[in-house]
Amino acid sequence: MDVCVRLTTGSRAVSYEELHGAATMLVQVDIFQDEDGHWCAEGVGHGIVTQGDDLNELMANIRDACELHFEEQLAAGRTIDLLVTAKLELNNAAATAG
């Protein structure tokens, strides 16, 4: 699997897999809140989609979805590291309320 993350050590760029071993995969999961207030997650570059009513439920559902999606890789002894990133919208509610 190609991983987009590059870490630099000295003058040589090293991939995540080189740094952590070929048996480790890094999977990015983006989380966001939909218009109904539910928390949603999508695996970047993978067919992983899940949701939860709150962040605790979402994190449990992400784990379950990733374990199912990568079942063969996990059975073969690979390790999956999840990088969870959140998209949050900030606004000045006080300025728009008045």
For residue 58, give the CATH number of its domain: 3.30.2390.10
Residue 43 lies in a domain: yes
Domain that holds residue 70: 27-87
Helix, strand or coil, per DSSP, at residue 44:
coil
Confidence at residue 63, expressed as pLDDT on a 0 to 100 scale: 92
For residue 29, count CB atoms less than 10 angstroms from its CB and return exposed for 0-12, middle for 13-18, buried for 19 or more.
buried
Q: Which is more confidently placed, 14 or 25?
A: 25
Residue that the structure tokens 């992400």 belong to: 62
Tokens of 14: 């090293």
Question: Is residue 59 assigned to a domain?
Answer: yes
**Phi, psi dihedral angles at 11 (to 5 degrees):** -100, 0
pLDDT at 32: 93
pLDDT tens for 18-72 read 655 566 788 899 999 999 999 999 999 999 999 999 999 999 999 999 999 999 9
CA–centroid distance for 68 within its chain: 15
Q: Is residue 95 part of a domain?
A: no
Decide if 51 is inside a domain. Answer: yes
Would 52 be classed as within a structural domain? yes
Confidence of residue 1 (pLDDT cuts 50, 70, 90): very low
Number of compact structural domains in the chain: 1
Q: Is residue 96 part of a domain?
A: no
Q: Look at residue 46 and tell me if it is in a domain.
A: yes
